[in-house]
Amino acid sequence: MKLYNTKTKQVETLVTHTPHHVEMYTCGPTVYHYAHIGNLRTYMMEDVLERYLIFEGNTVNRVMNITDVGHLTSDADTGEDKMLKGAKREHKTVMEIAAFYRDAFFEDCRKLNIKKPDTVVPATSCIDDFIRTIEGLLEKGFAYIAGGNIYFDTSKIKEYYTLTSHAAEDLKVGVRDDVSEDGNKRNKSDFVLWFTKSKFDDQELKWDSPWGVGYPGWHIECSCISMVHQGEYLDLHCGGVDNIFPHHTNEIAQSEAFLGHEWCGHWFHVHHLNDESGKMSKSKGEFLTVSLLESKGYDPLAYRYFCLESHYRKPLTFSFEGLDNAAKAYNKLINRIAAIEPEGACDAAVFSRYYNDVRTAVGNDLNTAMAITLLYNILKEKTSGNTKRAVIDIIDQVLALSLLKKADAKRKEAADAARAKAEAEAALHRDDPEAEAIEALIRERAEAKKAKNYARADEIRAELLARGIVLTDTAQGTTWARQ
Ligand code: AMP
Ligand code: ZN
């Protein structure tokens, strides 16, 4: 497939180390609070990407970390540990907070049809691997000890700013220079691999290390977890755009310093979902979660539809008005699919045309909006119901909007209601001595209508009316009652 690569700044073919197999890594959530729907936009687009790679015939090994230690409130090495902040807020232990919000995250993912990655690894389960990698970096001269902490020395590598320009990041550092610089650092861009000299004496989780009791920095976890579960070569690394710097920049620096060769060739980043005030927040204003959307009556998949209507490489502004429109369109789409009669053979020519169209749309930098347009196109196509359903099925293998499942549930609901109505009617007429004869005439009338013999159909209606019996035609069939 063709996919924008943040590293080369162009849309290019995704090249993997093993043909038809993709080693894909996803930066997982920091489980100190619920995920907001912005975080979930990123995971949803990564999910579409994985589904599409499978659709194309690849196998995918997807690995995700769960950050339960080391992510400070600033993505640089300043501020408080987010996990500790969450634990204090709720008067619980860090591990209790981590377990609760990890489960809540996967529950939100389930509601949004976001597949759980094959391998999910909490950072706290890999401390020995982090220590081993940091020892390797110290041995190779890429790291140093200062003031009790271990730092990565960014001056020791050829090119540190591989994903962004130096100037752009320097500018940003200048802007956020409200935080005091760490005097232990040899270079401004150096980052912490292991903290022992913590400013936070109340840091709850600490481990023994060759450098004293402490805890890992945030960036080392993703590099190590990927190397342990995916080996020395990664094909595709994913995250939100805020991860580009410093997190992914630091991941590349330490992984390539440790391995001595290029680590990952393709970097996929999803742009942010913003609210109307500008930035999604977990602390200020309305905290937009999947549960909040549900409490307001929205189907979480209407939010998925809302996201898929836009390209992942454009910032998206969330508003309830926008979500209302998406929810209406999504419901209408399901109703139209429910109205398709599953009849006729599947037209192979139409099917393969749409199969290619899906590849053209989604296989070209994940154009999900175009894939949605294909759904509307097939609904208008002059072809059998079963062709339409087969095409909808393949498009939805990638979009995962549960279209046929929801449409079939609607059809079943309607059929159950019709059956219940017919049964109620049969019960009503059970003691009527003429019921059998009347129903035979109603069946005859239906046959006559089918054969376009409207004269006979009208005759039967008139004959029954003359006997005081009124017929009512409904979508589910004809009912009768005595006047
Ligand atoms: P975190 O739990 O803060 O580590 O973030 C989880 C994921 O959400 C990361 O991949 C972030 O890049 C991504 N993310 C954070 N904020 C947003 C946002 N407003 N819109 C989309 N993705 C986001
Ligand atoms: Zn990461």
Task: State the average pLDDT over residues 298-303.
Answer: 98
Task: State the average pLDDT over residues 328-351.
Answer: 97
User: What are 240's two structure tokens?
Assistant: 């939100």
427-444 pLDDT tens trace: 888 888 999 999 999 999
91-103 pLDDT tens trace: 999 899 999 999 9
What's the CA gap between 121 and 145, in Å, rounded?
28
pLDDT for 315 beyond 70: yes
Phi, psi for 381 (deg, rounded to 5): -65, 145
Neighbours of ion ligand 2 (CB under 5 A): 27, 222
pLDDT for 265 beyond 80: yes
In whole numbers, what is the pLDDT of the chain averaged over residues?
A: 93
Domains and CATH numbers, the chain: 2-270 (3.40.50.620), 300-307+314-406 (1.20.120.1910), 418-482 (no CATH)
Q: Is the distance from CB of 194 to CB of 130 less than 8 angstroms? A: yes
Question: Ligand 1 centroid to 98 CA: how many Å?
Answer: 17
Tell me what pLDDT residue 198 has. 60
DSSP label of 430: T
Tell me what pLDDT residue 169 has. 64
User: What are 41's two structure tokens?
Assistant: 């936009």
Residue 230 CB contacts under 8 Å (≥ 6 apart), including other chains: 23, 25, 61, 63
- Whole-angstrom CA distances from 284 to 10, 74, 275, 277, 280 are 36, 17, 11, 10, 9
354-365 pLDDT tens trace: 999 999 999 999
Residue with tokens 């930098």: 365
Ligand 1 closest atom vs CA 280: 19
- Whole-angstrom CA distances from 234 to 1, 120, 267, 371, 425 are 17, 16, 10, 28, 65
Tell me what pLDDT residue 180 has. 58
244-260 pLDDT tens trace: 999 999 999 999 999 99
- Whole-angstrom CA distances from 462 to 23, 153, 441, 481 are 72, 95, 11, 14
Q: Which residue's CA is the closest to the ligand 1 atom numbered 9? A: 240
98-121 pLDDT tens trace: 999 999 999 999 999 999 999 999
pLDDT for 170 beyond 80: no
Of residues 168 and 64, more confidence is placed in: 64
Q: Is the distance from CB of 270 to CB of 46 less than 8 angstroms? A: yes
Give the pocket of ligand 1 (CB within 6 Å).
27, 29-30, 38-39, 41-42, 67, 239-240, 242-243, 270, 272-273, 280
pLDDT for 379 beyond 80: yes
Ligand 1 closest atom vs CA 41: 21
- The preferred substitution site among 41, 42, 268, 313 for testing ligand 1, maximizing ligand atoms within 8 Å of CB, is 42
Amino acid at 380: K
Least confident stretch, 17-31, 70-84, 315-329, 363-377:
70-84
Task: State the average pLDDT over residues 79-86.
Answer: 84
User: What are 75's two structure tokens?
Assistant: 């993505």
Write the secondary structure of 177-194 as one string of H (helix), E (strand) and C (coil): CCCCCCCCCCCCCCEEEE
> Residue 73: which pLDDT band, with cuts at 50, 70 and 90?
confident
User: What are 461's two structure tokens?
Assistant: 């209606």
Q: Is 9 exposed, middle or buried (0-12, 13-18, 19+ CB in 10 A)?
A: exposed
Q: Is 417 exposed, middle or buried (0-12, 13-18, 19+ CB in 10 A)?
A: exposed
What's the CA gap between 277 and 285, in Å, rounded?
9
Ligand 1 closest atom vs CA 29: 2
What's the CA gap between 452 and 468, in Å, rounded?
26
Distance of CA 332 to the CA centre of its chain: 22
Ligand 1 closest atom vs CA 67: 4
Q: Which residue's CA is the closest to the ligand 1 atom numbered 7? A: 39
Question: Ligand 1 centroid to 24 CA: how many Å?
Answer: 17
What's the CA gap between 296 and 293, in Å, rounded?
5
